[in-house]
Structure 1
């Protein structure tokens, strides 16, 4: 069994190839149950969580069939220990024999597949001439989102915002040192931006529908529980809304779940999922002034596609 560390995962998942791999997986499909969620009580820290995300390719898939599972520990108390709150590993196996093929760094895998799923959706939903990007959140996913959007769109300005100014300034400086047109933003105000990409763990709206300009694409990434949200109901009500998967979006996406509970939208307001965009079953954006929203909570099929690609490249 191969051990594939974070830097090797990163090299094996260039944005264009990763996006193509995700598109193929969404188009062709795989078996991917909703994530298994288990509480992890901690004696001297906030309760943690163990997430298991399995997926396997369907019989008849060309070439070797793969299965995989991502094991994620979410431990909020790790911040006090100087450790990331999320720790993840991915085990890739041969679905026919059960042979373990590779153990991959799950953090790097997750960051990159998450950002690539956003830009894949953005190909259908964002204006092709989008030039101004606002990223809310200055963590690892926020950094990956900034890199991915700049790689796939003609971005001339990247504004980074976080609740604390220091992380936003640090990330903006790091991105700028790699040649990206990044700066720190003082507020999360979305006005004037073509793409707004959010990567926070907020439980209160940060992006409000009344403040979003016509033609904007909003990419909601950070929240993954029904109690969390990064947008208000007014935004979803005025937007063409696409989710990564209907099952995940309607069960786990707080932005969607809470907007339905408030009566602002119904389940029928979800115009499409990402598979339908990739299969040509929904056209995506149809007007330059249309407001579009992509809400993702993460799909285990994305992890499987990324792990296969990284393993082949290693």
Structure 2
């Protein structure tokens, strides 16, 4: 029997073109022919670190073509063990025969597809002239989000904030050779009103993006806060902005960034302008004018994983 291809993080890192991956995602969201069941989302106790971990199981099928399932754990306290919070694998299958075609390192796949999805949303929601970005968070996603946004917008200057200034400085050093000026900052408030795009990827339980600092025309990209008790933006941000999500199924049920304002009556479901399926298929519009503040909330969608798995499998077989 044919053995599955092993696709590791080094291959993913060395072959990713965010422009290519964004186009693949755009096509998949637009065509909407992928079958995506509701993902399994299980929280389980982790007594050793005194904080719950999460198990995510995310399947998707494109009939007669391919299928896949991602099995991932998210352990917020993994820094104690000098490990990334996200661990897992992606099983890429032939949808007709069920043959396992590839086993893909899921952390890198998730990071790349998540960043590309934010960039795809930005192509509809940020100003075309957007040239400055604030990156809040210093995890594995931060570098990739900066690179992905820069693939779709003419980003020239980036500020990086993290709870640990050393990590923010390391990211700045890593990216300064990419024709982007990158600077670590100690306070979000000192720069947030000066940038065109704010991208936030953290596990924060208290808001880091405060609406009182936002100005007209900004785009806010909320990528972290994947649980109902987590949030990266406060009520004022949500109230001031036009809100977009990756999918109604996930966006309205999983993240505190949307659930808490809904529960408190700050917004209603009707205030959600569109999901990515509607934006990509041109059923609904994104940004209307240069004064609009837009928010994109991403919680992840199994379609994104399948698209990325197909992308890297095809790269491996080119």
TM-score tier (shorter): over 0.9
Q: In the alignment, does 2:53 pair up with 1:38?
A: no
Is 1:19 matched up with 2:22?
A: yes
User: Where do residues 125-274 of structure 1 align in structure 2 (5 Å cutoff)?
Assistant: 125-189=125-189, 190-274=192-276
**Alignment TM-score, normalising by the size of structure 1:** 0.95
User: Given the alignment of the two structures, is residue 8 of structure 1 paired with residue 11 of structure 2, yes or no?
Assistant: yes
- Do the aligned residues in 1 keep the contact of 2:76 with 2:203 (CA within 8 Å)? no
Q: How far apart, CA to CA, are the structure 1 residues paired with 2:268 and 2:180?
A: 39
What CA distance in whole angstroms lies between the structure 2 residues aligned with 1:42 and 1:295?
27
Instruction: Identify which range, 41-50 or 123-132, moves more after superposition.
Output: 41-50
The farther-off stretch of 7-16 and 137-146 is 7-16
The answer (yes or no) to whether the contact 1:35–1:51 under 8 Å persists in 2 is yes
TM-score by length of structure 2 reads 0.94
Is the 2:218–2:294 contact (alpha carbons within 8 Å) kept by the matching residues of 1? Answer: yes
- Report Cα offsets for 1:188-221 as digits up to 9, x if no partner: 1221110000001111111122210100000010
Structure 1 outlier segments of 4+, above 4 Å: none
Cα distance in structure 1, aligned partners of 2:133 and 2:299: 21
Within 2, Cα distance between the matches of 1:272 and 1:42?
A: 36
Provide the rounded CA distance (Å) in 2 between the counterparts of 1:246 and 1:287: 24
The runs of 5 or more residues in structure 2 that have no matched partner are: none
**When the two structures are aligned, how many residues end up with a matched partner?**
309
Q: Quick check: 2:36–2:59 contact (8 Å CA) kept in 1?
A: yes
User: In the alignment, which residue of structure 2 is the partner of 1:53?
Assistant: 58
Q: Residues 72 and 87 of structure 1 are in contact (CA less than 8 Å); yes or no, is this contact kept in structure 2? A: yes
**Alpha-carbon contact 1:195-1:218 (below 8 Å) kept:** yes
Q: Deviations over 1:12-49 (max 9, x none)?
A: 43111100111111112212223212234445233322
Q: Which moved more, 1:302-311 or 1:74-83?
A: 74-83
Q: Please give the per-residue CA displacement for 1:237-277, whole angstroms capped at 9, x wherever unaligned.
A: 12111100011010012111101111110000000001100
| SS of the residue 2:193 aligns to | coil
Q: How has the CA–CA distance of structure 1 residues 164 and 77 changed in structure 2, closer, same or farther, with 3 Å as cutoff?
A: closer
* Structure 2 match to 1:116: 116
1:121-141 deviation line (CA, Å, top 9, x unaligned): 111110000011000001111
Shift of 1:10: 2.5
| Pairing of 1:281-300 with structure 2 (within 5 A) | 281-300=283-302
Aligned equivalents of 1:228, 1:45: Cα separation in 2: 18
Measure, in 1, the Cα distance between the counterparts of 2:59 and 2:104: 14
Distance 2:96 2:38 in 1: 22
Comparing 168-177 with 286-295, greater Cα deviation is found at 168-177
CA RMSD in angstroms comes to 1.3
